[in-house]
């Protein structure tokens, strides 16, 4: 049996997190090292290592992650002022955990281009 990812341990309650949303397809929680006043991670319950490895069968959950991010942005009061969604893919893309996740960032002006 493979080791669980950090996000699977959060999903299973083995690691505490400030959970904002949970359903059968995803979980969302505050990032422990926020890069903006609002920094939430939206993570599929079933791990996909990275977006570049997603399969056609993952299409539904990928869309669900984006719709959930939009709902959380409304709940956090940043939908009107604006926010950024980020998905890192691979080491050079900034991927730190090999479990696909969407970063929802907002609550301040976000510069472009990013890092």
pLDDT at 78 over 60: yes
Give pLDDT, residue 95. Answer: 93
Task: Return d(Cα 105, Cα 73) in angstroms, integer.
Answer: 9
- Indicate the pTM of the whole model: 0.95
Q: What is the pLDDT of residues 25-72, one digit of tens each?
A: 999 999 999 999 999 999 999 999 999 999 999 999 999 999 999 999
- Sorted by where each begins, the domain ranges of the chain are 6-81+88-106
Q: What is the pLDDT of residues 1-24, one digit of tens each?
A: 579 999 999 999 999 999 999 999
**Among this protein's residues, is 101 annotated catalytic?**
yes
Class of domain 6-81+88-106: alpha beta
22 in helix, strand or coil?
A: strand
Adjacency order of strands within the sheet including 38-44: 19-22, 26-30, 38-44, 102-106, 83-86
Query: Exactly one of 64, 99, 101, 103 is catalytic; which is it?
Result: 101
Give pLDDT, residue 1. Answer: 55
């Amino acid at each position: 049996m493979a080791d669980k990812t950090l996000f699977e341990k959060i999903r299973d309650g083995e690691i505490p997190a400030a959970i904002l949303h949970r359903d059968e397809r995803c979980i969302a929680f505050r990032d422990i090292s926020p890069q903006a006043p609002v920094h939430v991670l939206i993570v599929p319950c079933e791990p996909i290592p990275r977006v570049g490895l997603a399969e056609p069968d993952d299409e539904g959950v990928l869309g669900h992650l984006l719709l959930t991010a939009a709902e959380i942005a409304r709940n956090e009061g940043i939908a009107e002022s604006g926010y950024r969604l980020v998905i890192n893919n691979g080491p050079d893309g900034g991927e730190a955990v090999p479990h696909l996740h969407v970063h929802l960032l907002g609550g301040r002006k976000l510069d472009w281009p990013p890092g």
